[in-house]
Structure 1
Amino acid sequence: MLLPELNLTVEQAKALSIPVVRREVLQVLIDYVQSKVDAGEDLVLNFICTHNSRRSQFSQIWAQTASDYFGIPAACYSGGVEVTAFNERAVGSIKRAGFRVTKKGEVNPKYFVFHSDDAEPIVAFSKLFDDPINRANRFAAVMTCAHADENCPFIPGAESRIPVRYEDPKAFDDTAEEASKYDERSLQIAAEMFYVFSQIRSTK
C-alpha cells in the first residue's frame, strides 16, 4: 500500500508512454530479471553512476518501489566510483514525489526512504559500488551514466552489465528549471522501472 501522494506519482508514471528506443534498452534488464525469477534465484540490482548522487539513487529507489509494488522480490542497491553525497536537490525531488524521508548525519548523510507505512526503508547514501551494504557477487550492474559505463570496464562480482543511461539533471542546477528537471528525470526513471517490473511473469 503506497503512501497516498506517492501513489499519485506512480499512477502518473505508469501512464507515461515508453518510447520504442527505450523499450529496447530496457528489454535487456527485463530479460535479466525474468531469468532470475524463472530460476528461483535472488535478484540483486546495483545501479551505478560516477558519484552515486542523483541518477543511480533515483534508480535504486524507484526500482525497489516497483519490485515491491509488483511483488517481485528484489534487492536494489546503488553505488559509484567516487563517494560524494545523495544530492539534496535529488532528495527534494523524491520528497515531492511522495516518499517519506528521514535523515541521519550531516557529512554524506544516510536517508531512510519509505514508500509505505509497513515496508522497510530504502537506505540511500553515496558509496562505492562495492560498499559492504551492497551485495558483492551475482548481481546485475546497471550503468546509469555514460561516464561510469565507459570508465569502469570491469565490475567485480557482476554477472551481468546492463547500460540504462539517463541524462544528468545536474545540468540544470541553480537555474529556474532545476526542480522541474529533477522531477522530470525522477518521473522518467519511475516510469521505466515500473515498466520493467510490469513485464515480469511470476512463477508462483
Structure 2
Amino acid sequence: MKKTLLFLCTGNSCRSQMAEGWARHLKSDLFEVRSAGVEKHGLNPLAVEVMAEAGVDISGYTSALVDELDIKDFDYVVTVCGHANEQCPFFSGATRKVHAGFDDPPALARNAATHEEALSHYRRVRDEIRAYVERLPAGLE
C-alpha cells in the first residue's frame, strides 16, 4: 500500500506545487501525493513554466488549504518553507513531519531585470526540489 505524502508551503503556489509534481512524476509507485498551503495564493505561472520545461505538467494543479484535501491523515508531511514549518497545522500522532526548506523563487526573482533572469531562480529551486524528491523515501524517517 502506498504511503500518503503532503508537501506543505505557505501559499501552495510554487515550491509545494513543484514538489507535488516531481513526486507524482518520479515516485507515484511509492506515494499518494498532495500539496497544500497554510494560505491560498494561487498557482504561480512561472512555476508551471519551468516544470513544463522539465517535462512535468502542473498546469492543472490548484492552490489548496490543508482542510480542503481529500486525504486527512498523512503518513508524511514535508514542509518546504520556513513559514509553513512554523505554522504547520496539527496532524495525527502517526504523521511524521519533516522540514526540507527551499528558497522562495518569487522572492528571489522579484528584482529580476528580465523574464529569463527570473526563470533562472525558479529553475534552480525546481532542480533542488527534484534532487530531494529523487532521494525519497530516504530523509523521511
- TM-score over 0.5 for the alignment? yes
Which whole-Å deviations, capped at 9, do the CAs of 1:179-202 have from their partners, x for residues lacking one?
1110111111112211225x6xxx
Gap change, CA 1:132 and 1:195, over 3 Å in 2: closer
Alpha-carbon displacement from aligned partner over 1:25-66 (angstroms, at most 9, x marks no partner):
xxxxxxxxxxxxxxxx53001000010001111111111212
Q: Is the 8 A contact 2:7 2:36 kept in 1?
A: yes
Q: Highest CA radius of gyration, 1 or 2?
A: 1
Would the aligned equivalents of 2:82 and 2:101 in 1 still touch at CA under 8 Å? yes
Deviation at 1:99, TM superposition (A): 2.5
**In the TM superposition, what is the alpha-carbon distance from 1:100 to its structure 2 partner?**
4.2
Task: Specify whether residues 64 and 90 from structure 1 end up closer, same or farther in structure 2 by C-alpha distance, changes over 3 A only.
Answer: same
The alignment covers a number of residue pairs equal to 134
Task: Provide the TM-score with structure 1 as the length reference.
Answer: 0.60
- 2:86 is the counterpart of 1:86: no
Match of 2:73 in 1: 137
Cα distance in 2 between the residues matched to 1:100 and 1:132: 20
RMSD: 2.1
- Distance in 1, matches of 2:57 and 2:104, equals 24
Q: Output the TM-score relative to the length of structure 2.
A: 0.84
Aligned partner of 1:166 among 78, 102, 107: 102
* Alignment deviations for residues 75-124 of structure 1 (CA, whole Å, 9 cap, x no partner): 010000111211111111111112246x5xxxxxxx1xxxxxxxxxxxx2
Unaligned runs of 5+ in 1: 1-40, 104-110, 112-123, 200-204
Shift of 1:139: 2.6
Structure 2 CA distance for aligned equivalents of residues 62 and 129 of structure 1: 19
In structure 1, what is the equivalent of residue 91 of structure 2?
Answer: 156
Do the aligned partners of residues 178 and 78 (structure 1) sit closer, same or farther apart at CA in structure 2, a change above 3 Å counting?
A: same
CA distance, structure 1, for counterparts of residue 18 and residue 54 of structure 2: 11
The residue matched to 1:85 in structure 2 has which SS?
coil
Pair 1:128 & 2:68 matched: no
The answer on whether the counterparts of 2:8 and 2:84 sit within 8 Å (CA) in structure 1 is: yes
Structure 2 partner of 1:186: 126
Distance in 2 (alpha carbons) for counterparts of 1:181 and 1:138:
30
Q: Which residue of 2 aligns with 1:31?
A: none
